[in-house]
Amino acid sequence: MLEERPSRAPGDQHRILVTGGAGFLGSHLCEQLLALGHDVLCADNFFTGTRRNVEHLLSDPHFELISHDVIQPLDVEVDRIYNLACPASPVHYQRDPVYTTKTIVLGAFNMLDLAKRQGARILQASTSEVYGDPGVHPQPESYWGNVNPVGVRSCYDEGKRCAETLFFDYHRQHGVDIRVARIFNTYGPRMHPEDGRVVPNFVVQALRGNPITIYGNGLQTRSFCFVDDLVEGLGRFMEANPGGPGPVNIGNPAEVTVRDLAQLIIDLTGSSSKLVFAPLPPDDPTQRRPDVSAAAQMFGWQPGVQLRDGLRKTIAYFDGLLSAGEFLPLRRERVR
């Protein structure tokens, strides 16, 4: 149940487009924006997003869901745009890498064009992957990264880097009001069980009592941000006044090894799963930790949910899916 909308000052309510709004992050963001009293237009082509993520919002008269692929232009009246449309896990973005690059780059172009026509403020969901396998730790926004431009992850890494370029060129050349958020590893309810990222992989394997697969030696580190913290950070960044284009890191700086994450999930689920090891995928980063001081200084944000608490909520979500027999396969072909 959404919170009752608070009373808002005239002109404080926005009509907001969320591309990729039926995905994991997008659906939580739509939910938050509605709770804050905004009108939300959710656009998704359901390549990795799913209608079930936003079904509970369909009865809200301030929410609209449309089927749309951001590769194609979109003409709607909005004053805020969150551009989240893109497959975000290696399993998904490597399935059709040419389409992934088109989604990121053409999607950025089309949404920036819309923002220019409408005079709208637009936020790009960029990624920590722009830093590649970093040579600087933790990663500040001033670090230019260490990215392989011809590797199997390049469609996503370089696509997002190109999108950032487009955003800043539209800002400098056309005066578009932009925000660029570099999102670090995020987890929580509504991730798909076949997502392919480490948290859902480990949770599903643990709940089923299957061996937990760790790629490499498990000593590589990640920093995991719970989805509620992440969407709050995006919202604060969008509305920061005075604000700025960024880029700004949004993530949790608490660092954990992949092996310790697996053991924590085993403990929280009470699973009998054992750890098994497999070769590390190409270009997989060895360290990932955000410097979030810019977010704290610019709009007073820092994550508040501890990893153990966020994992409990995530485990409960996946346990519910398993119990109800609702593990649905992901769509294997995009909507054309």
- CB-based contacts of 136-143 (< 8 A; 24+ apart in sequence): 137/287, 137/289, 138/253, 138/255, 138/289, 138/290, 138/291, 139/249, 139/288, 139/289, 139/290, 139/291, 140/249, 140/291, 140/293, 140/294, 141/182, 141/246, 141/247, 141/248, 141/249, 141/291, 141/294
- Each residue of 37-54: b (16+ CB within 10 Å) or e? bbbbbbbbbebbbbeebb
DSSP 137: S
State the pLDDT at residue 2. 37
| C-alpha to C-alpha distances, 172 to 104, 109, 118, 162, 177, nearest whole angstrom | 20, 15, 17, 15, 10
Mean pLDDT value across the chain: 90
For residue 318, list its beta bridge partners.
none
State the pLDDT at residue 8. 41
pLDDT in tens, 53-106: 999 999 999 999 999 999 999 999 999 999 999 987 677 777 889 999 999 999
Q: What are phi and psi of 187, to 5 degrees?
A: -145, 165
Active-site residue identified among 131, 156, 170, 187: 156
CA atoms within 13 A on the CB side of 3: 11
Question: Is there a catalytic annotation at residue 93?
Answer: no
State the pLDDT at residue 7. 41
pTM of the model: 0.90
Residue 144 makes CB contacts below 8 A (sequence gap 6+) with none
* Beta strands 15-19; 39-44: pairing state: parallel
Cis peptide before 138 (omega within 30 of 0): yes
State the pLDDT at residue 226. 98
In angstroms, the CA 259 to CA 275 distance is 8
For residue 40, list its beta bridge partners.
16, 63
Question: How many other CB atoms are found less than 10 A from the CB of residue 92?
Answer: 20
pLDDT in tens, 212-246: 999 989 999 999 999 999 999 999 999 998 889 99
In angstroms, the CA 38 to CA 78 distance is 11
Residue 50 has pLDDT above 60, yes or no: yes
Distance in Å from the first CA to the final CA of the chain = 33
* Domains of the chain, CATH where assigned: 15-187+226-252+285-304 (3.40.50.720)
pLDDT in tens, 277-293: 999 888 777 888 999 99
Residue 66 makes CB contacts below 8 A (sequence gap 6+) with 41, 42, 43, 44
Binned at pLDDT 50, 70 and 90, residue 5 comes out as very low
Residue 210 makes CB contacts below 8 A (sequence gap 6+) with 273
Three-state secondary structure call for residue 57: helix
Residue 272 has pLDDT above 60, yes or no: yes
pLDDT in tens, 297-335: 999 999 999 999 999 999 999 999 988 776 654 444 443
- How many helices and strands (H and E) does the chain possess? 9, 13
State the pLDDT at residue 87. 83
In angstroms, the CA 241 to CA 226 distance is 25
State the pLDDT at residue 325. 75
State the pLDDT at residue 48. 85
pLDDT in tens, 156-207: 899 999 999 999 999 999 999 999 999 999 999 999 888 888 999 999 999 9
Residue 105 and residue 166 in contact, taking contact as beta carbons nearer than 8 Å: yes
State the pLDDT at residue 210. 94
State the pLDDT at residue 284. 76
For residue 123, give both structure tokens. Answer: 């936020």
